[in-house]
Structures are given as C-alpha cells and as structure tokens.
Amino acid sequence: MEKESIFIERLVAPLNKKERLISFYKEQKFVDCTFKINGTQVRAHKLILACCSPVFEKMLYGEMAQDEIMLCDISVEEFNQVLEHMYTDDIEIHSMTNAWSLFYVANKYLLDDLIQVCLTYIRNNITMNSLSLTYEYAEMYDLLDIKKKCLDDMVNYTEGLFIGDYHMKPTTLRAILQKVDADGERLLNLLAKVINWCIVECELRNIPSSPNNIKGILDKENILEFFQVNPLEYSRCPECHYPLNEGLDEVVKKTMKLLYEVLIWCKEVYRKCTPKSIPKTCRMRNEFKIACRLDLSTNEEFVSSFSVDREMIIFGVLMNTQMEPPRFSLKYYKGIISLRICEYHTSKDIVKPTIIEDFILYSSDFYVSLKSLVVLKANRVYDLRISHKNCDMKGPSSLPCFYMSNKLTSHNKKDTISFYETTGGIIKGLSFYPA
C-alpha cells in the first residue's frame, strides 16, 4: 500500500521551478527581507533579488548588509512591478511616465533585462503628448537615439507641441527654438505659443502671469533672441494691430501688445552686435588662407608671440570671432573675450587683463580696445593670450585660424611688429603707436 500511494502522488503534475518561485513570492513564503516605502512594508527573498541585481547583492549580503531597507524614490505600486518582473520576467507597463519611473529603478539597480523592456516600450509609444517628457528623460540618461528622434519631431511639429499637459523645461524650449527654421508670421505664431508656455511657467514660479513677468522670463531664459523679426513688416502700429490677436487668450493679447517693444529690444541687441568700425589706427595683417579650426575650451588660451623693433604702445586688437554653427538661425551670440599681454612663455600679466562681455556676430572681425595701455620694450618677445567663451552654447568655441603675414608696419614704415606663428593665428591686426 505504501508503494501504491507514492505512485499515485507522482501522477499529480508538480509545479515547475518558476511556478514554485512565483508561489513563494505571492504567498510570502520564506521571505527574509523587508522594504519600507511610504509607511508600507514590501517583503521579498534576498537570494532572488541578489541573483537579479549586483546592487541588491551588495545591499543584502555585503559588508553593510541589512534586512530592512528604506526606499524614498519609488512608489509601492512601481516597486511591486519591479519585483514581479524579477520573479516572473513579465511586467505590464501602464504609461510613458510609468515606463520612465521603472527605467529609473532598473538603471539604479542594474536590472539589464528590465532596462531593455522599458526602452522598447518607450521607443514604441512616443506620442505628441509625450515628446517633450521623453526628450528630457533621454537627455538626462544620455540616450542619444531617443533624444534625437524626439527633438527632430518637436522641431518638425511645433504646431502640436504645446497642446499636451506636460510642461517642458526652459532648456528644452531653447533646444527646440535653436533648430526651428521660421520667420515672419510663423515666427510670431510660435511666439504666441511660447507666451502660453510662459503663463504656466509663471504659475510654477508662483508669480503673476503679467505681460511684464512673461517678458522677464523670456529675457532671463534667453528666449527673446530667437524672435528676430522686423516689426515694420509684421505690425501696423505698436499698440496691438497684429494679425494674431483674434482667438488669443487675454493675457497673450496683452503680452503681444508688448511685442513691439520686444522687437525693438531685439533690434537694439542686433545693433549692439553689428561689426564695430575698425579704427584707422589699426594695422591689418595680410591673410593668405585658412590654417585650421581652432577649438578653445573655457579658460583655454590662444597664445601668439610677438616682438616690437622699438618702444611702443599697443591699445587695440582685431581678432576673428566664432565660426557660425551649421543649421543655426541666430547671427550673433553672447560672448566673453579675455585678452592678456604677458612676458614671453609666462602667464605673468604686464598690465591688467581686458575682459569684454558683449553680443558678437558669428564669423566676423571683432575689435577689442585694451582697458589698460601697455608699453612694450624694443627687441623683447611678448605673449598675447586670448581666451574666448560662447555663453549661448556648450562645448569649445571654434574660431577660424588663418595663415597671415608675420610683420605689421606703421604708416610711416618705420615701426615694425613681428609675429612668431607657425600654425596660423586669430589676431588680424593691432592698433599701436610709438611710446
């Protein structure tokens, strides 16, 4: 009888390993660790978690191992989703926001399988409403393919971009405007949408959504610079006769009344950054051909060594500006130029450095008047050191570097400055006269 009962028991199909594991999880059998999340306790098996994640392995079995762990950066529902995936390899993602929350946890705990599941869902479910949200997460996690797809779509479909509930960051808005190719009435239409974005931004900053506050946000976030249009072509008067007023929100209408002032502001900025007249005292070097593109990172200096044949004073420098980036609509940038004259092969300043912060045209000549005149001794070699920063863009500043004549002479042909550049330079001329 005993042998017969054993035979009968084996006729009942046993649970396979995966099913037993899932039953242990669902029935909370043999659980040996606890996660505390917003006052709720979630229990699991240390060994299972350690097998799935090297991070959990260190947390549960490392030198600082604990059986109770407090989690503050995930909801109970989403942590249960993660646990279910670790036990079953299955997961049901509910939305794009849910996918990014799960991706955050998977990335934090190095759950490679779940990372791929989340990315697959994200790539397959991008919609107009989730474009900016997905772009910002992709930028944060450096997911270049998703970031590029979202930015391209946002640029191509700006008409529907501001319809969704998600409020994009100012940096995202700037990234879009940098690539949008628009002018005239389309640009003013886009500005109306940006003003609506500003109204929400005012609420988030807990300030009244007044036209002046909106204009202040546009200015502070460097967004006004993207709306370079001629007010004489697209407005009949500075009061409100814009073709966009019909159907607009009242706050937008009032802000559009300030548009004339905004456009005049933009025109004033453009006037500031038009090429400064080169003084007649500035002697120009002969240009032969471009040598290379010079990439200067922040605080990195271009050094040009030179000497004078008699005692003289240098009071101005003409230099190249940054090369215009491809597919970039703005013609100018906010730049900082630092110019120093030092002893040869040293960083010792002879006089106080000249630092200029101004609006600068791309791919043009920029004249810098030295704030401190410097007297140079005859037959001594000096270093002219220039650093350059584009405040509107990240990364190094790319300046064209030319092969140029190595001597400058005064009008009377008696005074000479000699340059010692073998790989080209960015200094196109100097203003000088005898001491």
Give dist(CA 249, CA 243) in Å, integer.
Answer: 14
If you average pLDDT over every residue of the chain, what do you get?
81
Q: Which fold has domain 13-125?
A: Potassium Channel Kv1.1; Chain A (3.30.710)
Domain residue ranges of the chain, discontinuous segments joined by +: 13-125, 182-272, 282-434
3-state secondary structure of 411: coil
Least confident of 9-23, 78-92, 132-146, 365-379: 9-23
pLDDT in tens, 266-297: 455 555 555 667 887 888 998 888 888 888 88
- Is the model's pTM score more than 0.75? no
Which comes out higher in pLDDT, residue 123 or 64? 123
Q: Which two tokens stand for residue 222?
A: 């460097």
**pLDDT band for position 435 (50/70/90)?**
low
Quick check: 335 and 358 in contact, CB under 8 A?
yes
pLDDT in tens, 237-267: 333 334 444 455 666 666 665 655 555 554 5
Angle between helix axes 17-26 and 76-88 (nearest 10 degrees) is: 160
Task: Write the CB contacts of 86 (distance below 8 Å, at least 6 apart in sequence).
Answer: 48, 49, 52, 53, 111, 114
pLDDT for 98: 94
Query: How distant, in Å, are the alpha carbons of 30, 35, 345, 424 from that of 340?
Result: 72, 60, 13, 19
Q: Does the pLDDT of residue 221 top 70, yes or no?
A: yes
Q: Does the pLDDT of residue 26 top 90, yes or no?
A: no
pLDDT in tens, 95-122: 999 999 999 999 999 999 999 999 999 9
Query: How distant, in Å, are the alpha carbons of 18, 20, 21, 43 from that of 25?
Result: 11, 9, 6, 9
pLDDT in tens, 124-163: 998 888 889 999 999 999 999 999 999 988 888 877 777 7
Q: Does the pLDDT of residue 411 top 60, yes or no?
A: yes
Strands of the 365-376 sheet, one edge to the other: 282-284, 427-434, 312-320, 365-376
Tell me whether the CATH fold assigned to 13-125 matches the one assigned to 282-434.
Answer: no
> pLDDT exceeding 90 applies to what percent of the chain?
34
Quick check: 27 and 87 in contact, CB under 8 A?
no
Which comes out higher in pLDDT, residue 244 or 434? 434
H or E segment and range at residue 261? helix 259-272
Give dist(CA 21, CA 31) in Å, integer.
Answer: 11
Where are any strands of DSSP class E within 53-185?
68-71
pLDDT for 238: 37
pLDDT for 29: 85
pLDDT for 220: 85
pLDDT for 262: 52
pLDDT for 281: 80
Query: Could you say which of 2.60.120.820, 3.30.930.10, 3.40.50.2000, 3.30.1490.20 is the CATH number of the domain covering 282-434?
Result: 2.60.120.820
Q: Does the pLDDT of residue 337 top 70, yes or no?
A: yes
3-state secondary structure of 39: coil
Q: Does the pLDDT of residue 235 top 50, yes or no?
A: no
Q: Does the pLDDT of residue 171 top 70, yes or no?
A: yes
